[in-house]
Amino acid sequence: WPVFLIFFGGLDQSIECESVDRTSITIPDIQFSLIHQLEKVVRSSIHVVIMSGSGLDLTYIRDSPQFDSLIWIGYAGQSDGLAISNVVFDQYNPGRRLPIAMYSASYVDNHRVLVRLFRVNVTNTGEISGDDVVLAFVRSRNATMNGEISPIKQLFGFERVSLAVNQSKDVFFPLTVQHLLTIARDGTKWLRPGSYDILIGEQHMHTLKLYGQSIQWASKRHVFSSNENI
């Protein structure tokens, strides 16, 4: 039987709760000290399970070649041990997405104009059934204008898929004009000429190009498609 070590760490309500503000985003120093000692003496695989109610900087553990896996779990109930063991011993394959994440605020109108529909094929190449959450982003290559700062990329769609071993499934993401808008400092919405990369999963799917002058988006009369003049 393979031999490996599981390290359990994280936070508790003496460190984080509604009446206590954290002063650090890392795990406690005493846990880091133990982790460094384990790296020196353990020659088998080390798997790390971190429990907390909020985000932590786990970069060191993630990047260290000594640790084979890193699992984050919130403050679970009476079945937390069973849930963790199911993941560690390959009885369950989670979707690999955290319940705590930061996304840019999105301001949209009720009226949506479809620019293009994207399709991506997802295949489970692993050895057990599992879930995955496919994320779709749009990334503007345009320079900032009038003090506006474009986000690195914006989420415009997501879809969770459950797949058996070697099973494939098509996932569809509609892209609308609203997903291409830039929000100015005064709250107005603008459609800018330039290039927009469509990123789905880890793939660069397409680059949309809009030409012409910038226009303020105010009503549903503005209808465009890719590679057309604004």
Note the pLDDT of residue 145.
Answer: 59
Question: What local confidence, expressed as pLDDT, does residue 15 receive?
Answer: 86
| Residue 24 placed within a domain | yes
- Whether 220 and 110 have beta carbons less than 8 Å apart is answered as no
Classify 204 as helix, strand or coil.
Answer: strand
Q: Are residues 82 and 164 in the same domain?
A: no
Domain end point (choices 53, 73, 88): 88
Q: What pLDDT, on a 0 to 100 scale, did the predictor assign at position 115?
A: 60
The pTM for the full model equals 0.51
- DSSP-derived pairing of the beta strands 67-73 and 203-210: unpaired
Q: Containing domain of residue 141, as a range?
A: 114-216
Q: Are residues 62 and 128 in the same domain?
A: no
Domain boundary among 88, 105, 136: 88
- Quick one: pLDDT at residue 98? 65
Instruction: Decide which of 71, 88, 105 is a domain's last residue.
Output: 88
Q: Is residue 153 part of a domain?
A: yes
Query: Rounded to 5 degrees, what angle do the CA atoms 99, 83, 4 make?
Result: 110
User: Which CATH number do you get for residue 191?
Assistant: 2.60.40.10
Q: Are residues 149 and 206 in the same domain?
A: yes
* pLDDT mean values, one per 10 residues, the chain (230 residues): 81 84 82 90 87 84 85 84 83 69 32 64 88 91 66 89 91 86 81 87 84 70 40
Confidence at residue 210, expressed as pLDDT on a 0 to 100 scale = 80
Among 189, 159, 191, CA closest to 174: 159
208 and 120 in one domain? yes
Residue-level pLDDT at 84: 85
104 falls within a domain: no
pLDDT given for residue 104 in this prediction = 35
Position 94 in a domain? no
C-alpha span between 196 and 209 (Å, rounded): 6
